[in-house]
Amino acid sequence: MSGWLELQGRAEKKYRESLPERGFFKTATDAHFQTLDDGKTTFYPQGVYGRSGFTVSSTEREMLLRRNVREYRKGVAVAYFIV
């Protein structure tokens, strides 16, 4: 029986990984990043409409920046809710 549950668990995990990540914070975070034609990723601290952007040197740095932007957005949302 455990073999069947394991197969079902793997199938569910594969299904969830195939779905695109979505949500308010994902969309808000994506607004700070732009992928150029040559494949480089640019980070805009004030959003895509900001004046200056910085080229992200590695995928680890991009993941760190995405996490920080998402946490900042969550904090701002909580502050708006309290106010």
Nearest CA to 53 among 68, 41, 38?
41
- Token digits of residue 50: 């900001």
pTM for this structure? 0.67
**CA-to-CA separations, 74 to 23, 28, 51, in angstroms, rounded:** 12, 10, 24
pLDDT in tens, 27-81: 888 888 888 899 899 999 887 677 888 899 888 888 889 889 989 988 998 999 9
